[in-house]
Amino acid sequence: MLFSQRPIRLLGRDRGGEARAVFLHPRHPIQLSATAATSVMAVWLPWSSVREIEPVMRPATRMETNSPLIRAAWSFLASLLTEQSDPTLYSDYLVERLLVEMVFGMLVETAPAPLPGPNDTAMIARARTLMLMNRSDPSFTVQAVSKALHLSLRQLQRVFAAAGSSPAAELRMLRVDLACELIRDEDYAGMGVLDIALHSGFRNSSGMRRAFAAAGLATPGRMRAEGTSSR
């Protein structure tokens, strides 16, 4: 994902187009040229984080610079580059996750066509984006998702039920996924179980253990011990 201070021109399939924010598809090369001297910021993210919306992504996706997400991303990146304080044990990981989730939200926001499948699939994708962006906040709830999407809680539940899931289960699993990533990452071996719970959006460690059990996973402590013994 490229962010440019001045417009950049896309060549090739999107010849003649200009933008200040462009998502570059890893499997579709595209040429870019600057219309004037400019500063560019780049965000690399794992393809797995956006693979699910690949069917509606163009080789090069131009972003509308007046999008709130684009403006927020630009400001966030600029603040990272000028921040003088030293990173904490958790900040690098959380910044990376936030950037991935922001880019995912931008792609959903600018998708040229509805996502494939049932009509509710696009709504589920938008709901999931909101959950991804806020899952580390213990105060973020399913009710906040429905409010942001201008749906009643019952409508949101029906949308997920049609796909064989529920918004509460989806949010819980996203938090479990984040907790598992922290537990298995050697860079965060210094985090205690309670710290992991709080940084993954759980209110306490017992809530995280219950979520792990519901997902059929080992306890957080055992998962960490198994990971340590295998190294």
pLDDT at residue 116, as a whole number: 42
Q: Among 81-90, 95-104, 141-150, where is mean pLDDT lowest?
A: 81-90
Average pLDDT rounded to a whole number, residues 61-77: 74
Q: Is residue 154 assigned to a domain?
A: yes
Domain assignment of residue 127, given as a range: 114-230
Backbone angles phi, psi at 83, to 5 degrees: -70, 130
How far is Cα 83 from Cα 189, in angstroms, rounded to an integer?
25
Average pLDDT rounded to a whole number, residues 175-199: 91
Q: Is residue 87 assigned to a domain?
A: no
Counting the structural domains of the chain, the total is 1
Q: Is residue 21 assigned to a domain?
A: no
Asked if residue 229 has pLDDT above 60, the reply is no
pLDDT, tens digit (0-9, with 9 covering 90-100), for 169-179? 999 999 999 99
Q: Is residue 101 assigned to a domain?
A: no
Q: Is residue 44 assigned to a domain?
A: no
Burial class (CB in 10 A: 0-12, 13-18, 19+), 22: buried
How far is Cα 38 from Cα 210, in angstroms, rounded to an integer?
50
**Within 13 A of 48's CA, how many CA atoms are on the CB side?**
1
Q: Is residue 42 assigned to a domain?
A: no
Q: Is residue 93 assigned to a domain?
A: no
Helix axes 167-184, 91-110, angle to 10 degrees: 140
Q: Is residue 32 assigned to a domain?
A: no
Instruction: Tell me the chain's radius of gyration from C-alpha atoms.
Output: 19
Contact present, 66 and 47 (Cβ < 8 Å)? no
Q: What CATH number corresponds to the domain at position 174?
A: 1.10.10.60
- pLDDT tier, 212 (very low <50, low <70, confident <90, very high otherwise): very high
How far is Cα 195 from Cα 204, in angstroms, rounded to an integer?
9
Asked if residue 196 has pLDDT above 80, the reply is yes
Coil vs helix vs strand at 62 = strand
Average pLDDT rounded to a whole number, residues 2-26: 74
